[in-house]
């Protein structure tokens, strides 16, 4: 797959603002301060992922229902996390998860986590998204590839996560050439281990690579032993201020 040999600024015809996409904080009982912070007036959130228990859980969770409701009341789109397991889970299971999210938490869309990225996985992903939109026609669907997928995926969903990983990898990464044919609002980048002193640099990389939805954190995965997305970055106020005043251009 060809990649851009250098960073270049992408323009958006809509003048879309860079905003935050929250990959999924810990359960509201474990991270009440985090969920409260996400409802802060003026926080530049494009959406937040709700993961009750590796999915919607087996019964409605009142704490998650309350957290999702407060986010929606604050004008934040809530997405239910559905684990795809690289396309190995049957579509019937994925749709059953989506039903529960809609019935119990009235989500605005879905985050298809660990979505396949290959050409071979594209037809079944298309069928899954068609089924999801049959449940809710205006559902916002984000595909969590974590890498640049086959370009056909860009025609199937609202947004693609084309990077998910460490700052050490991100700062020297390159965007796939085909992404230049799409506006920045189609792409998301999740980066952990970003030092406070490199936050400006990380935002420039996202802008130059054409990703308008980002999540940068100084938390790390400690070699895969922890989830860096479960808590807010230590520089939460800084990133809210910098992203909130910036425009992807």
Rounded distance between C-alpha atoms, residue 172 and residue 29, angstroms: 37
Please say whether the dihedral angle defined by the alpha carbons of residues 147, 152, 154 and 158, taken in this order, is positive or negative. negative
Q: Which of 227, 171, 167 is nearest to 195 (CA)?
A: 167
pLDDT, residue 226, reads 82
pLDDT, tens digit, for every residue of 33-69? Answer: 999 999 999 899 999 999 999 999 999 999 999 999 9
Q: Where are the alpha helices (DSSP H) in 136-233?
A: 167-170, 199-209
Name residues whose C-beta falls within 8 Å of residue 200's C-beta, 6 or more positions apart in sequence.
Answer: 242
pLDDT, residue 246, reads 65
Residue 176 — φ and ψ, nearest 5°? -65, 140
Q: State the pLDDT confidence band at 185, using cuts at 50, 70 and 90.
A: very high
**In angstroms, what is the C-alpha Rg of the chain?**
17
pLDDT, residue 15, reads 56
pLDDT at 202 over 60: yes
Q: Where are the chain's structural domains? A: 19-84+93-167+178-220+234-244
pLDDT-above-90 percentage for the chain: 88
Classify domain 19-84+93-167+178-220+234-244 by CATH number.
Answer: 3.20.20.70
pLDDT, tens digit, for every residue of 209-237? Answer: 999 999 999 999 877 778 999 999 999 99
Rounded distance between C-alpha atoms, residue 153 and residue 77, angstroms: 22
């Amino acid at each position: 797959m060809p990649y851009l040999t250098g960073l270049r600024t992408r323009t958006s015809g809509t003048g879309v603002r860079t905003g935050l996409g929250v990959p999924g904080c810990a359960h509201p009982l474990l991270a009440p301060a985090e969920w409260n912070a996400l409802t802060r007036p003026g926080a530049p959130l494009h959406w937040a992922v709700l993961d009750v228990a590796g999915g919607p859980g087996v019964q409605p969770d009142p704490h998650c229902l309350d957290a999702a409701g407060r986010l929606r009341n604050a004008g934040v789109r809530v997405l239910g996390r559905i684990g795809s397991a690289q396309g190995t889970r049957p579509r019937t299971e994925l749709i059953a998860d989506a039903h529960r999210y809609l019935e119990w938490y009235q989500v605005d869309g879905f985050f298809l986590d660990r979505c396949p990225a290959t050409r071979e996985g594209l037809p079944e992903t298309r069928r899954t998204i068609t089924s999801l939109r049959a449940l809710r026609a205006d559902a916002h669907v984000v595909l969590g590839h974590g890498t640049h997928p086959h370009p056909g995926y860009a025609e199937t969903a609202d947004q693609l996560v084309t990077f998910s990983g460490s700052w050490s990898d991100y700062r020297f990464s390159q965007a796939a050439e085909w992404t230049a044919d799409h506006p920045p609002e189609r792409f998301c980048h999740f980066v952990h281990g970003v030092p406070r002193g490199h936050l400006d640099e990380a935002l420039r990389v996202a802008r130059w690579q054409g990703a308008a939805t980002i999540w940068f954190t100084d938390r790390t995965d400690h070699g895969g032993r922890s989830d860096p997305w479960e808590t807010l970055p230590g520089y939460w106020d800084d990133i809210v201020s910098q992203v909130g005043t910036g425009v992807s251009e």
